[in-house]
């Protein structure tokens, strides 16, 4: 399917409600989300340029699981569980780094080759002969899409990342994202809201004119959202070359100079792909970036983001990237506040749920995707915590 063949129309008579409030503070539901959403769906761990050289590694923790992404001696990017086969210790303890020669578990000193096979156990005389494959690091399913390293901890309903993103292949390829390099380290910040409140804000542009003065100044009139269809949404906006009032926006527009390989119709575009359930890849003429959120608890989430630039960037492009980053940082701070306001309403006895605009159909389409995975989201009033899992299973049986 191509991008133009996606049915992104908003239905005539759609249910404008959101998820029931209890879904935002139920520990039992959160456990289901961890197992059936986060571990079974593709997650962006890093970019190939975060592990540019053999021996470079980056770790990625998610809902009790932990992965290590490492480039082996042959240059292949591999993903393993960051768990020593001896006692389960983290094989690498730092978030990122470079291991010279091999991975050495800091607990007892088991040594693993960069392809994950066991080189040898510490004090090998205290063990029988160990098969290097049987006792090698366990692989994590891994796929690279335009430079972004995706991992999946458990088999799930999504196709390969390439198939999932197929409608956008031509547009994404134009940005040559695999060739980009990190602007900085991957950024993380904990925020005091349920993860779905982050996504609810991010899945609609209705709030842009009110809440994001810089974005509105940059591209407000042209912005539009396409809802989630088969697991992916798309938002698109173009800035114009005149009329901006804010300093950063005005100078960004002045400085922005797309790379020579970018097609003309994308020269002023900011494009966002929402990848169900919890990630976005965004492209501007200057950068490609990802952001995502993970549950820490029902009332706390970890925001995580990485930004990548052209490897050969001149001073003007660097200045434009700096200004784009400034606009983005301002937007993120504003969004964080919006998510807090939205999330706190879920605890109020007077909260009667969302009543969504046509401009927020993206929120509904995300919720519908959630309902397809966990039918218990359809239950209007909070079930007893101890019944959530069985209720979800029985509703799934009824649907099936």
Partner 1 sequence: MTKTILDPDEFAQQRKVIFTDIGLPGSGYARYSAAMYFHKLGRLSLDLLEIYRRCSKWDHEDPVILASLEGVEPVTPDELKFA
Is residue 111 near partner 1 by the rule CB under 8 A? yes
Stretch that binds partner 1, among 99-107, 140-148, 245-253, 384-392 (CB under 8 A): 99-107
Using CA atoms, how far apart are residues 338 and 335, in angstroms rounded to an integer?
A: 5
3-state secondary structure 57-75: EEEEEECCEEEEEEECCCC
Is residue 98 near partner 1 by the rule CB under 8 A? yes
Torsion angle, CA of 161/166/171/176, rounded to 10 degrees? 40
| x/- map, 115-134, partner 1, by CB under 8 A | ----xx-xxxx---------
Using CA atoms, how far apart are residues 253 and 272, in angstroms rounded to an integer?
A: 19
Stretch that binds partner 1, among 45-53, 93-101, 218-226, 338-346 (CB under 8 A): 93-101
- What letters, b where the CB count within 10 A reaches 16 and e where it falls short, cover 98-113? ebeeebbbeeeebebb
CB-nearer residue toward partner 1: 78 or 180: 78
Stretch that binds partner 1, among 64-72, 94-102, 272-280, 291-299 (CB under 8 A): 94-102
Stretch that binds partner 1, among 114-122, 206-214, 277-285, 323-331 (CB under 8 A): 114-122
Q: Tell me which residue has tokens 């960069």.
A: 114
Collapse the DSSP code of 260 into the 3-class scheme (helix H, G, I; strand E, B; otherwise coil) and give the result. Answer: coil
Is residue 101 near partner 1 by the rule CB under 8 A? yes
CB-nearer residue toward partner 1: 55 or 396: 55
Stretch that binds partner 1, among 38-46, 97-105, 208-216, 351-359 (CB under 8 A): 97-105
Using CA atoms, how far apart are residues 249 and 304, in angstroms rounded to an integer?
A: 25
- Closest distance between partner 1 and the C-beta of residue 108, in Å? 9
Residue 237 phi/psi, 5-degree rounding, is -155, 155
Collapse the DSSP code of 131 into the 3-class scheme (helix H, G, I; strand E, B; otherwise coil) and give the result. Answer: coil
- Closest distance between partner 1 and the C-beta of residue 183, in Å? 24
CB-nearer residue toward partner 1: 27 or 124: 124
Using CA atoms, how far apart are residues 369 and 363, in angstroms rounded to an integer?
A: 10
- Closest distance between partner 1 and the C-beta of residue 51, in Å? 16
Total interface residues for partner 1 by CB under 8 A:
16
Rule CB under 8 A: which residues touch partner 1? 98-104, 106, 109, 111, 119-120, 122-125
């Amino acid at each position: 399917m191509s991008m133009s063949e996606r049915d992104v129309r908003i239905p005539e008579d759609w249910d404008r409600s959101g998820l029931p409030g209890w879904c935002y503070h139920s520990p039992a539901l959160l456990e289901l989300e961890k197992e059936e959403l986060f571990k079974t769906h593709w997650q962006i761990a890093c970019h190939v340029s975060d592990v540019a050289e053999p021996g470079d590694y980056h770790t990625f923790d998610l809902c009790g699981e932990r992965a290590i992404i490492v480039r082996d001696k042959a240059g292949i990017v591999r993903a393993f569980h960051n768990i020593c086969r001896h006692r389960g210790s983290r094989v690498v303890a730092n978030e990122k780094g470079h291991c010279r020669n091999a991975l050495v578990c800091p607990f007892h000193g088991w040594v693993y080759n960069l392809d994950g096979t066991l080189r040898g156990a510490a004090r090998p005389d205290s063990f029988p002969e160990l098969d290097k494959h049987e006792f090698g690091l366990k692989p994590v399913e891994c796929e690279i899409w335009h430079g972004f390293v995706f991992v999946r901890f458990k088999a799930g309903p999504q196709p390969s990342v390439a198939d999932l993103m197929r409608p956008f292949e031509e547009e994404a390829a134009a940005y040559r994202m695999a060739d980009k390099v990190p602007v900085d380290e991957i950024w993380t910040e904990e925020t005091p809201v349920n993860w779905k409140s982050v996504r609810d804000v991010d899945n609609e542009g209705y709030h842009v004119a009110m809440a994001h003065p810089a974005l509105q100044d940059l591209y407000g009139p042209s912005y539009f959202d396409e809802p989630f269809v088969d697991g992916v949404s798309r938002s698109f906006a173009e800035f114009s070359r005149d009329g901006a009032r804010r300093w950063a926006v005005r100078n960004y527009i002045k400085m922005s100079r797309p790379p020579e390989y970018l097609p003309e119709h994308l020269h002023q575009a900011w494009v966002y792909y929402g990848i169900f359930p919890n990630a976005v890849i965004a492209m501007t003429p200057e950068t490609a970036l990802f952001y995502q959120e993970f549950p820490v608890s029902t009332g706390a989430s970890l925001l995580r983001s990485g930004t990548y630039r052209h490897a050969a960037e001149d001073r003007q492009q660097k200045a434009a990237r700096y200004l784009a980053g400034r606009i983005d940082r301002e937007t993120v701070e504003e969004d964080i506040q919006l998510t807090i306001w939205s999330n706190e309403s879920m605890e109020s006895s007077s909260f009667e749920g969302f009543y969504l605009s046509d401009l927020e159909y993206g929120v509904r389409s995300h919720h519908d995707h959630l309902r397809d995975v966990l039918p218990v989201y359809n239950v209007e009033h909070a079930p007893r915590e101890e019944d959530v899992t069985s209720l979800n299973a029985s509703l799934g049986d009824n649907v099936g």
